[in-house]
Structure 1
Amino acid sequence: MPDEPALAPDQALDLLKEGNRRFLEDTSYEPIMDRMRRLEIAAAQRPFAAYLSCSDSRVPPELLFERGLGELFIIRNAGNTLCATALGSLEFAVAHLQVPLIVVMGHEACGALNAAVSLARGQASFSGNIAKVLQSLLPAVLETDPWADNIVDSAALSNVRRVVHELREEASPALLEPQQSGMLKVVGAFYHLDSGKVDFLEPDK
């Protein structure tokens, strides 16, 4: 969208919501990926949203929101954790690409959260870099109660809220200042694997 005016945060969010509505209707999806579009974005990118999402192969943001080339700036890792790489990437998207919206999205039946639950319960152990990833998810598991029913989905929601809170309240000035001026919004979301629906979380929920 290089030739269009910059979107306001709520306009960007509305585009995502409308895209997911189309996805739920099972309509044919044909994003513009022809040569002209490739040439257009080869000169410069101008995504309208940055996305921190899980690496799970069932959760591809471009498809869930029916977006095309150059529209979403996506950071994916196991459990959508706010590691240094993810945080730096989000800061780049805001400071240099002027995205007006950051979405943090978890999902049902997250394998990373399931492994973190097993770790918290003492039912499994992990070595190396996997353990490092799970350690960052343990606070969400522990605040949810690791012995509760449906703990994996509850912990996934808790993890989204924790990351959103950090981005809204504890991040660097590169992210806090545009939020304070109304140029940037940070929202949480949760994807339902069976239905395909994305719920956007209310700010105080």
Structure 2
Amino acid sequence: MVTHNLVNHNWLVEADGSHRPFGNPETLEPGRYYRLYRFLTELEDILEIFHDDVSRLEAIAPLVRKLLVSSYWLQLEYSVPDPSVGWSVNYLFREHEFPLTVQMVSWLPGQTSSIHNHGSWGIVALVAGQERNRLWRRAPQPDQPDRIELVDEVILNPGDVVALTADAIHSIEALGQEPTVSFNLYGVTRFDQRYEFDPATHTAKPF
């Protein structure tokens, strides 16, 4: 399903809204034996070794690429976007007290998300379609402690990966005429630190 760009990109987004390339975004040759269970096991090992978001994301991104090019079936494990809300989520893996959630997410063309952070590190690999990620940062004022401002944007095409630290703030928009499909991976969400932001009212609420 996924048609990779001639040039793929890995983008790392941090709390200040900055983004930079990282790692090796080269598309790997498909492997024969890299399965989801092995991917999860290796992720658990990485979480034991690396304890900051950036180090974890840099170590995990190559495994995500390896999984996607070696497990074609996984790219088809998504649900058609629900027209009543404009999107859908298909959980590939989530387990009580296991520090990972794996999803396939699809959006109808033209749909947008709220502006939010995840309260956890996360990786999004675009499988199909095109997606705009707008990147924001906190810009508090004495009378507006939850004020944010737009910093930049990144356009994701199939084969691109964006890695987000727990405090990175973004919003997404599905571009083009076809639904977008992405592989999403998240660590343990700190719900008391996960927010949805309103740039018009300069407020934030739990998300």
More helix by percentage: 1
User: What is the TM-score normalised by the length of structure 2?
Assistant: 0.28
More strand by percentage: 2
Q: Which structure ranks higher in relative contact order (CA pairs < 8 Å, sequence separation ≥ 6)?
A: 2
User: What is the TM-score normalised by the length of structure 1?
Assistant: 0.28
Instruction: Report the structure number with the largest CA radius of gyration.
Output: 1
